[in-house]
Amino acid sequence: MKIAFDIQTAIGGKNTGVGVYTDLMRKGFSARKDVNVIELKRKSDKPITGALSRAWWEQIQMPSYASLTSADILFSPGFSAQKVKNMPLAIAVHDLIPLTHPYELGRFNRWYWQKIVPQSWQIADLRICVSYETQKTLHKVFPSLGKTVVVQHGLSDAFKKRETNTQDYFLMVGAWPKRKNFLSVIHAIFSVKNSPKLKVVGLVPAKLQTLAKGLLGDKVEFEGYKTTEEIICFYRSAIAVLCPSLAEGFGFVPMEAAACGAPVLMSDIPSHREALPVVKPYGDPQDKESLPRAIRAVLKNRSSFKAPDEWEPKTVEKAIGETLKELKTL
């Protein structure tokens, strides 16, 4: 099977979320003997920035490149795509948060998510949702869509337990945009007497860093962007990983952290429960006292927030196999 594969979301060197998913799928497809991957990307090695540039690539340039290939299927693991004649289109649907939380978007991003992305979902021959929660929301917002399936994320075998010395810090991976609920973490660390410090991995706006530093001082450290290998080391050494999101397409961070043996304090939202059903959520992310309570509890007993020893996360190899099985139905 020949797959014209839009890898543009993995270009740029600092992948998170969709970029990580795209890169894992690309590598997994390429490693299989029954698949011929035709990579579609711009000539530039720089990532796309801005909704207009992304729409131009996904709706005009990328389909044009695909039409010049002999691919059996066009697969978009990112956001949107345009149909190519005589070539079925499959699109991965990660979440509808830009539609359900539009206050986080600028004018052009709002246009892109309200017009371009839904149109692509509607014309696609197959929509592959990364979670049942995403599928449920998709059907609620767009009830007349065609074939839609669920293939949940999987983890590479790099995410595994290893004996390390626990260090005196809480960890948060991905504190922005607003739905990540970083303000609740600032409040919690500030509220808990003698709380360990907080390490934050990922890009955070300078104003928010200044606010956090003003309240927490040396109790908060911003680590910036880190590679997967570095994040795994952070997971393994943390007292606990804090996941207070208001909404997610899939609970990647809770699952990764638990696979590395870390206690996980995750908010009670559907995507978290789906990704890590073996750990009880700490409570409602809108309740500002729920996270401080959980922090006090984990300082007394870390094991109550850990995944059981017998639990094993879904592997990326299984996710790749399930995705290919669905693509072969087209």
139-193 tens-digit pLDDT: 999 999 999 999 999 999 999 998 888 999 999 999 888 999 999 999 999 999 9
Average pLDDT over residues 119-148: 95
Beta-carbon-side half-sphere exposure of residue 98 (alpha carbons within 13 Å): 18
Assess whether 135 and 191 both reside in one domain.
no
Average pLDDT over residues 113-133: 96
SS3 90: strand
Assess whether 196 and 129 both reside in one domain.
no
Average pLDDT over residues 281-286: 97
Q: Which residues pair with 200 in a beta bridge?
A: 172, 222
Assess whether 104 and 217 both reside in one domain.
no
Query: What's the pTM value of the predicted model, to 2 decimals?
Result: 0.94
Is residue 177 domain-resident?
Answer: yes
Is residue 311 domain-resident?
Answer: no
Average pLDDT over residues 47-64: 94
C-alpha to C-alpha distance for 139 and 158, rounded to whole angstroms: 34
Assess whether 131 and 273 both reside in one domain.
no
Range(s) of the domain holding residue 287: 169-305
Per-chain mean pLDDT for the chain: 95
Q: Give 13's pLDDT tier (boundaries 50, 70, 90).
A: low
Is a pLDDT exceeding 70 seen at residue 110?
Answer: yes
Assess whether 219 and 294 both reside in one domain.
yes
| Size (the chain), residues | 330
Assess whether 12 and 120 both reside in one domain.
yes
C-alpha to C-alpha distance for 129 and 126, rounded to whole angstroms: 10
Distances (CA, A) of 93 to 63, 130, 136, 249: 18, 6, 12, 9
Is residue 209 domain-resident?
Answer: yes
Assess whether 57 and 90 both reside in one domain.
yes
Assess whether 179 and 230 both reside in one domain.
yes
Assess whether 178 and 280 both reside in one domain.
yes
Range of lowest pLDDT (11-20, 28-37, 124-133): 11-20
Is residue 160 domain-resident?
Answer: no
Is residue 164 domain-resident?
Answer: no
Assess whether 52 and 106 both reside in one domain.
yes
Average pLDDT over residues 294-298: 98
Q: What is the pLDDT of residues 193-251, one digit of tens each?
A: 999 999 999 999 999 999 999 999 999 999 999 999 999 999 999 999 999 999 999 99
Query: If you write DSSP's letter for every residue of 96-139 in order, what string do you get?
Result: -HHHH-GGG--HHHHHIIIIIHHHHHHH-SEEEESSHHHHHHHH
Domain count, the chain: 2
Q: Give 52's pLDDT tier (boundaries 50, 70, 90).
A: very high
Assess whether 132 and 188 both reside in one domain.
no
Assess whether 255 and 137 both reside in one domain.
no
CATH number for the domain harbouring residue 202: 3.40.50.2000
- Which residues touch 222 (CB under 8 Å, ≥6 apart)? 200, 204, 209, 212
123 CA to centre of own chain: 24
Is residue 186 domain-resident?
Answer: yes
Is residue 159 domain-resident?
Answer: no
Is a pLDDT exceeding 70 seen at residue 316?
Answer: yes
